[in-house]
Amino acid sequence: MTVDDLEQRGINTIRGLAMDAVQQANCGHPGTAMALAPLAHVLFTRVMTYDATDPAWPDRDRFVLSAGHASMLLYSMLHLTGFGLELDDLRDFRQWGSRTPGHPEYWHTPGVELTTGPLGQGIGNAVGIALAEANLRERFGSAACDHRVFAICGDGDLSEGVSHEAASLAGHLGLGRLVAVYDDNHITIDGPTEIALTDDAVGRFRAYGWHVVELGEVANDLDALERGLAEGIAEADRPSLLVLRSHIGWPSPRFTDSPKAHGEALGEDEVRAVKEILGMDPDAHFAVADDVLAMYRDAGRRGAAARTEWEARRGAFATGEPALAAEHDACLAQGGLPGWEAKLPVWSPGDGIATRQACKAALDAIVGVVPGLVGGGADLTGNTGTAVPDAGVIDTHRFGGRQVHFGVREHGMGAVLNGMSVGGLVPFGGTFFVFSDYMRGAVRVAALSGYKVMFVWSHDSIGLGEDGPTHQPVEQLAAMRAMPGIRVIRPADANETAQAWRVHVEGDGPTALVLSRQKVPVLDGTAERATAGVVAGAYPLVDESGALELVLVGTGSEVQLCVSAASRLAERGLGVRVVSMPCWELFAARPDDEQAAVLPPGVPTLAVEAAASFGWDRYADDVVGLDRFGASAPGNIALEQLGFTVDNVVARADALLARDA
**Any idea which residues carry the catalytic annotation?**
410
Please list the alpha-helical segments (H only) found in 472-575.
476-481, 494-506, 526-536, 559-571
- CA separation for the pair 624, 651 (Å, rounded): 10
Which residue type is seen at 263?
G
Least Cα distance to 347 among 366, 333, 361, 364 occurs for 361
- CA separation for the pair 111, 141 (Å, rounded): 25
CB neighbourhood size of 596 (10 A): 12
Q: Which residues pair with 179 in a beta bridge?
A: 150, 240
Least Cα distance to 156 among 126, 183, 129 occurs for 183
Complete DSSP assignment for 602-617 = TS-EEEE-SS--TTGG
- CA separation for the pair 122, 115 (Å, rounded): 8
- CA separation for the pair 263, 154 (Å, rounded): 14
- CA separation for the pair 654, 650 (Å, rounded): 6
SS3 495: helix
Query: What Å distances lie between residue 56 and 40, 48, 59, 310, 508, CA to CA?
Result: 20, 15, 9, 13, 17
CB neighbourhood size of 99 (10 A): 20
Dihedral sign, CA of 491, 494, 495, 500?
A: positive
Rounded to 5, what percent of the chain is helix, strand, coil? Answer: 50, 15, 40
